[in-house]
Structure 1
């Protein structure tokens, strides 16, 4: 991500925390490159918040407000379907007065708003029902506005010049709001209504509903982003139901492709279903396959690091996502040196933006490569995908891109020739820190002084080691035994160098990084846990790191903090220096399991599950504050954390894999449970539709903690389940 806790003069891409997203608990919808942020009433109010309808990094609608009799209706309930398909808001009328006289008592009219997104169009149906015993004439008004602000403007960037907003084009049942940007692109929001409003103006549509006693009426409207009017052949009412059926069918098909989880704990089941629904919503279809966008509202775009970690955490459930991610990133791999984009041949994307500011170069993220870890993660994920699926054909397709990535690791990535991977932005407009902790102050020394580059992050060296081992396995699968042996030797040499340069015996862990002078940043951080995932530490050192990550200086009760209590820049309210990130915990959990520390992984899963109990919609946010857990209270929220966020959504799924020791052996058609540990909150977990090659199997695990047994419930094709105790 490109978020910072720095003032704007230090980092131009930080997100100002002038208001807390957690206060409003907005409702979000997404399909493809379009997303909507609404309040709990289903409105998009003015006021400088995040609410709006966005398409390709531009806010197409900045105001949408429903009024009844000139007043704002009162909220009864706000429900986002479990599959994220629709938002339903139940409202009622307030007391309405005319000339000081009460003309409609409250709670006489029920209003139900049903909203969803499909193919760049916002659909809404408003059903108004009277519970009065006399006829009612109910005035309904929809207010709207389109500012066509770039997403970075909404985030706080200022612009000296903007494009031209056109006057509205109004017809009987529609209005078109349009804008031509400085990039020469025309953008338009087309609002269509059924029935046609009694009065349609540049910023409002007015209706008068004549309701008999206990009668009902409805209004349907849609907002299309850059739609061709010639394609709008169906009335909004017909389009609403047809598109709703299509959207739900697509969600069912996507969810049905993956394995599913059920347990003896109903709340955990709710959180898992929300995780899968959020992932399904965030996945966007690309020409190369499914690709999870990072999160809403700030990161609804293709991010390399986020997508690969997300794919890795759900690889056991849905390998198709990893394949789509790998192929899409390969198609967008850098080919040339471009300092503004931080691009070098073989490098893998950091992010892609399609808004006006990116197109004009006002921000460098049109196609930006400024992350040091995306490239080794690409090779790591390819190796994990091959191990999970034995899909050699996809590896053959990816092999030239893997070789290019390895070449980048050997050349451009090693900026001083010492064998480590370093980063240093090529221009002042790029990101200063290019690991996953990319705040301006996230890499520092024990005295709190900021490290100066080129910087070699400890986890990135682990990724580079794991990437070479993964490439060795891929080369062997493709028949290139000589290259496989050379890559394995290169990995072993790097492992020895990491151990020698980063291990701090007195700290009992690995240094956060090496600075430009090769001085270790002697800070206890969660980054060391990623080395466990990569298999770098010796068993003895891994045991010490694992014990430290689970002691109170790191483990808050909800999860592992990014920085330990007592470090110079520790702050539980910071973005990267003491907060708890679910995806970070999931990667650590998988690393702990690699070294046999299954109970620790189950404990982390338990902590994040307990956090879900206290969180709206059971939805884990991007991060939360690192304050210690207090009896009877939930976690402390971070004010501008994204939710849903792809890698946070799938963190419990990755941790469940870690606790249950789930692995796959395609050569023997086997699902393997290696010393599984059930989390304390569940005595039974059922995994359905686990796939190996063409076989599928349903398995139940029962017991308590490490005393766990396994039973096969269903088997389809050649497949078996094995438990290692």
Structure 2
């Protein structure tokens, strides 16, 4: 028997913290890191561009006016460099004709015209005489803008045109609503011929500079305004170029002219899209959704030293998130496995190596999020490199297992094996805080997140009567992820020759399945509990969390059927998608972030789980609901979430005010749902594609899949919905020896 130590062990220290954790009262909790709602997307159609660590949020005019919509601006590495950027014609605002972001997400195109204007000689220029075409794109760490003015009148027109601008170098978390006691110093604007620079000296010792370069040189250049005086004869055209450079610690920009930079940006995006497979269907509206979703994914991807990584969402989450990156990669695994490879490599490189309570880190734990910016560098927020996710670690192992099945790339998995082992060890040691076999969370950082699953609002986990759950909390879906991770780890270990480890992991997974069924099943609800609280009391709430148990495969077939029935009932299914919680629950609010809204990625994972258990009609229902929702969305772009109001005839879904648009895992949801409906599994090493009882919704008669990689082979397939409801699948082209198998099921 070991003697007691005078110094408590790390596990004993955690137990002490657990004992001092008090149960929250019934009511609302406001997390200091929650996003304060403002006008947002529902009030103004935002136009978003992104390239690497640079992104811009503007209104339909192409203007940035944060006094009206606070998130507007030009951001670089977690800081808003340029806050105001507003086009002015004769000191006022032009009239908007149209505005869009091209399908490849590279270029913002805005058509404007003049209002009625009086000339100095007393003549009036009628509205619609001048046409202004404003185009903008981002490349490297610069924003390029071109303004072309054309006179379609019958007489010469004189006018002043220019921009009002302002730099504020505000941290993204300040934009989100946090207040700071101190800030760095802002130098006065430095005016030169044809350019102006503003410098910010941060408290973190970093110098940030925004430099605006104008061509041709303007007639008037001030600290916050630039004006050109123009005179155009009939049918004449005049072009102005502006380049806005964002620089950190005097890094010199690569200076390119507008056309050359646009060519590079367009070619790069086109090459990325060609790297994966392409999907074309007989439904043009569905094609619009697919194409915009794929463009959004490539918009969100940032190249890292380890490979491509999809940032989570714009504006609030344009940075690497572990959970978001993994789920996005899972959704896209059949389309482009290289994204999953980049995600796995990046997360392995940033895996926690030691205990650090200030960052909720323990050895083997996978990153939650990683932020640049002054506040992160100074520790004013804990998210410089933060590990407060309970689910990213098992999801990392799950993705590794599915990547191996998809690609057969055993050499890459061998290089990841130490990281996989560390993640598995974290689940058993640090994740299972009290040794009961379940993985729980309780924040250790006083600045960290209260809830550490994907539903991380401070009121997201509660009991049936509405009381907020106390910690530590064992989430339903997390136990499923751990189960699937141990199964995946077992398969990887066997492939690597570690038979004993494989057997041990498989046995551990089976024990977890049995414990899960006993502890989480709420028979009166026909659902798995959302969570167990700190006293092991089940949170018997009808929630979408239970659908993730199907996605992970931990549910028994009989109980999976009962869960499927509840998820697709009117209480849970809004008509557009499955709500996060049922409409009869105490905290249901269709306008809540996590308590009644509809999340596309949540629906995609549930749809995949339903299909895995054979509930293909229910998966088709989800795909149809989200497709219908996309028809009402600007640019056919599904947002991070939308409100969970019941679908009303002749109306579209209700937008959520501060949802990120675009959001990577929302954009990728259509691909996962299509894979689920087709029952498609790709076995890379065997060079084999299996379609298990494939189905297509009535609005999709034909689907072409081109450039689908299957091991070292590449195939093109043609799929057609038949009158009986099944799907015919034919080869169009094949390079290599890949085979296709179709499994048909009776009844």
TM, length-normalised to structure 2: 0.94
Matched, 1:717 2:736: yes
- Give the counterpart of 1:35 among 32, 36, 55: 55
Match of 2:154 in 1: 133
TM-aligned CA deviation for residue 7 of structure 1: 11
Provide the secondary structure at the position in 1 that maps to 2:168: coil
TM-aligned CA deviation for residue 471 of structure 1: 0.5
Would the aligned equivalents of 1:606 and 1:680 in 2 still touch at CA under 8 Å?
Answer: no
Aligned-partner Cα distance in 2 for 1:386–1:594: 19
Aligned-partner Cα distance in 1 for 2:396–2:43: 37
- Give the counterpart of 1:589 among 600, 603, 607: 607
Where in structure 2 are the equivalents of 1:74-113 lying within 5 Å? Answer: 74-97=95-118, 101=122, 103-113=124-134
Match of 2:34 in 1: 14
User: Structure 1 residues 510, 232: closer, same or farther in 2, change over 3 A?
Assistant: closer
User: Structure 1 residues 98, 158: closer, same or farther in 2, change over 3 A?
Assistant: farther
- Give the counterpart of 1:169 among 171, 187, 190: 190
Aligned-partner Cα distance in 2 for 1:427–1:548: 37
Where in structure 2 are the equivalents of 1:345-384 lying within 5 Å? Answer: 345-384=363-402
Gaps of 5+ in 2: 1-25
Aligned-partner Cα distance in 2 for 1:127–1:667: 54
Match of 1:151 in 2: 172
Would the aligned equivalents of 2:119 and 2:125 in 1 still touch at CA under 8 Å?
Answer: no
TM-aligned CA deviation for residue 680 of structure 1: 2.1
TM-aligned CA deviation for residue 685 of structure 1: 1.3
**Could you report, residue by residue, the CA deviation over 1:431-490 in whole angstroms, capped at 9, with x for unpaired residues?**
000000001111111111110000000100000111011111111111111111111111
TM-aligned CA deviation for residue 233 of structure 1: 7.4
TM-aligned CA deviation for residue 21 of structure 1: 2.2
Worse-matched range after superposition: 665-674 or 643-652: 665-674
Where in structure 2 are the equivalents of 1:515-594 lying within 5 Å? Answer: 515-594=533-612
Match of 1:406 in 2: 424
Matched, 1:478 2:499: no
**Could you report, residue by residue, the CA deviation over 1:526-584 in whole angstroms, capped at 9, with x for unpaired residues?**
10110111111111111111111111111111001110111111111111111110000
Matched, 1:186 2:207: yes
Aligned-partner Cα distance in 2 for 1:7–1:528: 24
Would the aligned equivalents of 2:309 and 2:339 in 1 still touch at CA under 8 Å?
Answer: yes
Worse-matched range after superposition: 427-436 or 604-613: 427-436
Would the aligned equivalents of 1:33 and 1:284 in 2 still touch at CA under 8 Å?
Answer: yes
TM-aligned CA deviation for residue 210 of structure 1: 2.7
- Give the counterpart of 1:318 among 336, 340, 349: 336
Aligned-partner Cα distance in 2 for 1:597–1:136: 66
TM-aligned CA deviation for residue 642 of structure 1: 0.7
Would the aligned equivalents of 1:7 and 1:14 in 2 still touch at CA under 8 Å?
Answer: no
Where in structure 2 are the equivalents of 1:243-282 lying within 5 Å? Answer: 243-282=261-300
Aligned-partner Cα distance in 1 for 2:685–2:162: 63
TM, length-normalised to structure 1: 0.97
Aligned-partner Cα distance in 2 for 1:677–1:226: 51
User: Structure 1 residues 17, 566: closer, same or farther in 2, change over 3 A?
Assistant: same
Matched, 1:240 2:261: no
Matched, 1:615 2:636: no
TM-aligned CA deviation for residue 505 of structure 1: 1.5
Match of 1:342 in 2: 360
Q: Which runs of 4+ in 1 moved over 6 A?
A: 6-9, 227-230
- Give the counterpart of 1:673 among 678, 691, 699: 691
Aligned-partner Cα distance in 1 for 2:217–2:412: 52
Worse-matched range after superposition: 50-59 or 671-680: 671-680
TM-aligned CA deviation for residue 99 of structure 1: 8.0
Provide the secondary structure at the position in 2 that maps to 1:147: strand
Match of 1:58 in 2: 79
Aligned-partner Cα distance in 2 for 1:230–1:505: 62
Match of 1:635 in 2: 653
Would the aligned equivalents of 1:197 and 1:205 in 2 still touch at CA under 8 Å?
Answer: yes
Aligned-partner Cα distance in 2 for 1:211–1:438: 57
Match of 1:195 in 2: 216
Would the aligned equivalents of 1:166 and 1:179 in 2 still touch at CA under 8 Å?
Answer: yes
Provide the secondary structure at the position in 1 that maps to 2:426: helix
TM-aligned CA deviation for residue 20 of structure 1: 3.2
Would the aligned equivalents of 2:29 and 2:458 in 1 still touch at CA under 8 Å?
Answer: no
Provide the secondary structure at the position in 2 that maps to 1:590: helix
Would the aligned equivalents of 2:693 and 2:726 in 1 still touch at CA under 8 Å?
Answer: no
User: Structure 1 residues 230, 626: closer, same or farther in 2, change over 3 A?
Assistant: closer
Gaps of 5+ in 1: 1-5
TM-aligned CA deviation for residue 9 of structure 1: 7.3
Provide the secondary structure at the position in 2 that maps to 1:411: helix
